[in-house]
Chain A
Amino acid sequence: MLEIENLHVQVGGKAILNGVDLKVEAGEVAAIMGPNGSGKSTLSYVVAGREDYTVTQGEVRLDGDNILELEPNERAAKGLFLAFQYPLEIPGVATMTFFKAAMNAQRKHRGEPELDMPDFLRRVRAAAKQLGIEQEMLKRPLNVGFSGGEKKRMEILQMALLEPRCAILDETDSGLDIDALRIVAKGVNALRAKDRAFLVITHYQRLLDHIVPDTVHVMSGGRIVRSGGPELAKELEARGYRGYAEERTTDEIASAGAK
């Protein structure tokens, strides 16, 4: 479903991704782990279509189509969703207005009719209830003044409403208390389906206890340096990233030598 091939990305002239190769199949839950600054969020932003990155090589394909030339909203309409590591506060924009606009924009793009008000409200209420989100929070401007954990829950709420086919969750677990983690994981698991893929970025095994991945990938120095099954996450938890950092250094030496 999602294929990333030899992806090289720069920001402001600095190389951050150095040839990422990654495939996530329909129905799969893939986890990415890796040290701070290894490029995990950068990968998620580039896949979602943020502007200030320069792709110097490689492709990102969704259902076989290269999506790198598409606007972020076009990617969303194709079924891509990114739960942000740091969701933005948007003062003055009512949460519900935004939800409705987002849901209808995607439907419109796919040639589906707009949601009517009762249908929209019913969906929001049901999803909010499942995620333990108070109605009062939905009356506030988007994410404004929300706690870190509340923002993460709102991201998952939006995911549930938009029903993406390929969702990237960037450290959705950080900032969540133990109960919230369980609720959010339950929300994600409820969405697991044959035709849906997840890419879960996390630092902790804790999340993967609840959302058990099919595959685990280690990112270091802007590349996927190792892939394996769920046991790989446990190994990392026990041993840390020692060894991977060295690999990165070797790489850097190699690329410096090539210049």
Chain B
Amino acid sequence: MNAQITPLRTPAEARLIDQFRASKAALPGNAAVALRREEAFATFAAGGLPTRRVEAWHYTDLRALMREARPWAPPPDASTVAAVRAQLDAEGPSDSVRLVIIDGVFVPEASDLDRLPAGVQVSSLAAALAEGRAAVVQHLAGPEIAQGDMAFALNAAFMRDGVVVEVAPHTDVRALVRIVNHRTATTATASAARALVLVGASATVTIIEEHVGEAGEPTQTNDALQFTLGDRARVEHVSIQRLPPGALCIATVTADLGARATFNSFAFSVGASVARRQLFVRCGGHAKTALGGVSLLNARQHGDTTLVVDHTAPAGESRERFKHIIDDEAVGIFQGKVIVRRGAQKTDGGMKSNALLLSEAAAMNNRPELEIFADDVICGHGATCGALDDNQLFYLMARGLPRQEAEALLLEAFAGEALDQVADEGLREVLMRHVREWLAARAASLPQSGFEPVGPAERGIIGNRDRTEA
């Protein structure tokens, strides 16, 4: 009888169960943290890796995509640290401080702990968990909408290390704070880092979250970044994902916004074979959030952005604006859910997803969703999906631009419009440079004039349940 209801485990699931049993005693945390890990793992063990039957994972069937669970990465050795450090020293904005995490382990000696801005404190997550620091532990669960998510639960079970960034109330942090998640790839490994950014009331900070790594063996990354914003706090968050092909990267962001807080988050995603970004944002009264992103996908890349914004108090404002450029046989996914709770009157929400498909085999899945339990709200959403505009292309070409140059100009404009959401000008330029690099690589890989644009018959809206704008 019992055997019949035990779900069939995939090798990856069985491996994760073994790994948890074998490693839980060594994972950092006091008794309370250990209990949290057990609970989180039980959530996973009950459901297994999410499949397309789990609504939030419908387009990213992790059970199918994650054939095996890689062994956990060992802590980085001295030569790895030196190499990463040298590389980071050579790049990056100078007006920033960086916090470096290699394969899920915080590396103080590669970080700028000696020149942190006033009002900013940084510690390793492992240390905070070991101490069981209440200020940290209380935030681990994240907003209600994140609880129960399988990737977040797995991160909660396995998180080994990461950083805790605390910004004192009323501090205006001018320097950009970079959290660099670097992945080595000499062997195929898994990692799970978690970062907490706790921002005091009326404080302001910009956080850049990077996922980068060496080309090599396929890695698995399941990171989480949690923001807690005090009343009237303001966070600008920019995420840059440039992992090499072969990588699987799940990045969860949670944000808990106090009253009148502002959380702007922009994601630039260009790397990895399978990338899933999930955002869970809870808006307090009069809180504002603007979530945006640009994903550039080619070859057989799979890029999923799934977000939930939860308006739990009146007069919140949320904006979502995501753009995808999809080439070859790549697949893009945008799922956005805005929840307006019963008491959250005067909520103002707007969601938009626009995708450009550059080949006939490219695909985009759009799924906007509104769950509204209040009666006095303004919420809307729209999605478009199609090829480059033939008329615009013709216009540019008739003035002398070769097809590829005309296409690149239109694509750059499409991406550029989204990048305008990034407040920091220097950062915007860095991202624009990545866009241009991607376009240049595309142009270099195309035959001089053999590119066949997608015909009007193939255009249309794919997987969009609701209203569509032209």
Instruction: State the CA gap A102–B397 with chains docked (Å).
Output: 8
Instruction: State the CA gap A73–B392 with chains docked (Å).
Output: 13
**Given the complex, which residues of A lie within 8 Å of B399, measured CB to CB?**
73, 76, 81, 98, 102, 158, 162
Contacts A71-B402, A101-B405, A109-B400 known; A92 to B395 CB distance under 8 Å? no
Which chain A residues (92-113) contact chain B, with CB distance < 8 Å?
A: 92-93, 97-98, 101-103, 105-106, 109
CB distance from A8 to the nearest CB of B (A): 21
CB distance from A148 to the nearest CB of B (A): 16
Which chain B residues (390-417) contact chain A, with CB distance < 8 Å?
A: 390-392, 394-403, 405-406, 409-410, 412-414, 416-417
Instruction: State the CA gap A51–B410 with chains docked (Å).
Output: 18
Residue contact A82 to B410, C-beta cutoff 8 Å: no
CB distance from A207 to the nearest CB of B (A): 22
Instruction: State the CA gap A93–B397 with chains docked (Å).
Output: 14
Q: Which of A83-91, A127-135, A180-188, A226-234 makes up part of the contact surface?
A: A83-91
**Given the complex, which residues of B lie within 8 Å of A105, measured CB to CB?**
400-402, 405
**Given the complex, which residues of A lie within 8 Å of B416, measured CB to CB?**
92
CB distance from A13 to the nearest CB of B (A): 15
**Given the complex, which residues of A lie within 8 Å of B392, measured CB to CB?**
88, 90
Residue contact B403 to A88, C-beta cutoff 8 Å: no
B138 an interface residue at 8 Å Cβ cutoff? no
Contacts A71-B397, A71-B403, A101-B409 known; A88 to B449 CB distance under 8 Å? no
Instruction: State the CA gap A91–B412 with chains docked (Å).
Output: 11
Question: Which of B391, B399, B401 counts the most A-chain CB atoms under 10 A from its CB?
Answer: B399
A49 an interface residue at 8 Å Cβ cutoff? yes
Instruction: State the CA gap A49–B395 with chains docked (Å).
Output: 10
CB distance from B24 to the nearest CB of A (A): 51
CB distance from B448 to the nearest CB of A (A): 10
Instruction: State the CA gap A75–B398 with chains docked (Å).
Output: 8
Number of interface residues of B (CB under 8 A): 23
Residue contact B390 to A73, C-beta cutoff 8 Å: no
Residue contact B409 to A72, C-beta cutoff 8 Å: no
Residue contact A102 to B400, C-beta cutoff 8 Å: yes
Residue among B402, B409, B417 making CB contact with A73, cutoff 8 Å: B402
**Given the complex, which residues of A lie within 8 Å of B403, measured CB to CB?**
71, 73
Residue among B395, B398, B417 making CB contact with A91, cutoff 8 Å: B417
Contacts A90-B392, A92-B414, A92-B416 known; A162 to B400 CB distance under 8 Å? yes
Instruction: State the CA gap A77–B398 with chains docked (Å).
Output: 9
Residue contact B395 to A77, C-beta cutoff 8 Å: no
- CB-nearest residue of chain A to B402: A73
Residue contact B410 to A72, C-beta cutoff 8 Å: no
Instruction: State the CA gap A59–B350 with chains docked (Å).
Output: 52
**Given the complex, which residues of A lie within 8 Å of B412, measured CB to CB?**
92-93
A52 an interface residue at 8 Å Cβ cutoff? yes
Which chain B residues (405-449) contact chain A, with CB distance < 8 Å?
A: 405-406, 409-410, 412-414, 416-417, 449
**Given the complex, which residues of B lie within 8 Å of A49, measured CB to CB?**
394, 397-398
Contacts A88-B391, A88-B395 known; A93 to B401 CB distance under 8 Å? no
CB distance from A94 to the nearest CB of B (A): 9
CB distance from A53 to the nearest CB of B (A): 11
Residue contact A72 to B394, C-beta cutoff 8 Å: yes
Residue among A75, A77, A93, A106 making CB contact with B413, cutoff 8 Å: A93
**Given the complex, which residues of A lie within 8 Å of B406, measured CB to CB?**
73
Instruction: State the CA gap A93–B401 with chains docked (Å).
Output: 13
CB distance from A95 to the nearest CB of B (A): 12
Residue contact B400 to A84, C-beta cutoff 8 Å: no
**Given the complex, which residues of B lie within 8 Å of A52, measured CB to CB?**
390
**Given the complex, which residues of B lie within 8 Å of A141, measured CB to CB?**
413
CB distance from A130 to the nearest CB of B (A): 19
- CB-nearest residue of chain A to B397: A72
**Given the complex, which residues of B lie within 8 Å of A84, measured CB to CB?**
395
Residue contact B400 to A90, C-beta cutoff 8 Å: no
- CB-nearest residue of chain B to A45: B394
Instruction: State the CA gap A51–B388 with chains docked (Å).
Output: 14
Question: Which of B391, B394, B414, B449 counts the most A-chain CB atoms under 10 A from its CB?
Answer: B394
- CB-nearest residue of chain B to A94: B413
Instruction: State the CA gap A161–B167 with chains docked (Å).
Output: 55
A48 an interface residue at 8 Å Cβ cutoff? yes
- CB-nearest residue of chain B to A106: B400
C-beta contact mask, A43-76 vs B, less than 8 Å → 1, else 0? Answer: 0000011111000000000000000000111011
Question: Which of A81, A102, A106, A141 counts the most B-chain CB atoms under 10 A from its CB?
Answer: A102
Residue contact A98 to B400, C-beta cutoff 8 Å: no
Instruction: State the CA gap A77–B395 with chains docked (Å).
Output: 14
Instruction: State the CA gap A49–B401 with chains docked (Å).
Output: 13
**Given the complex, which residues of B lie within 8 Å of A81, measured CB to CB?**
398-399
Would you mind naming 14 contact pairs between A and B with Cβ atoms under 8 Å apart?
A73-B398, A73-B400, A73-B402, A73-B406, A75-B398, A76-B399, A81-B399, A87-B395, A88-B392, A92-B412, A93-B410, A97-B409, A98-B409, A158-B399
Which 10 interchain pairs have the tightest Cβ spacing?
A92-B413, A72-B397, A76-B400, A106-B400, A102-B399, A105-B400, A88-B395, A72-B398, A73-B397, A102-B400
Given contacts A84-B395, A158-B399, 14 further A-B contacts (CB under 8 A): A49-B394, A72-B397, A72-B398, A73-B397, A88-B395, A90-B410, A92-B413, A92-B416, A93-B410, A93-B412, A103-B400, A105-B400, A109-B400, A141-B413
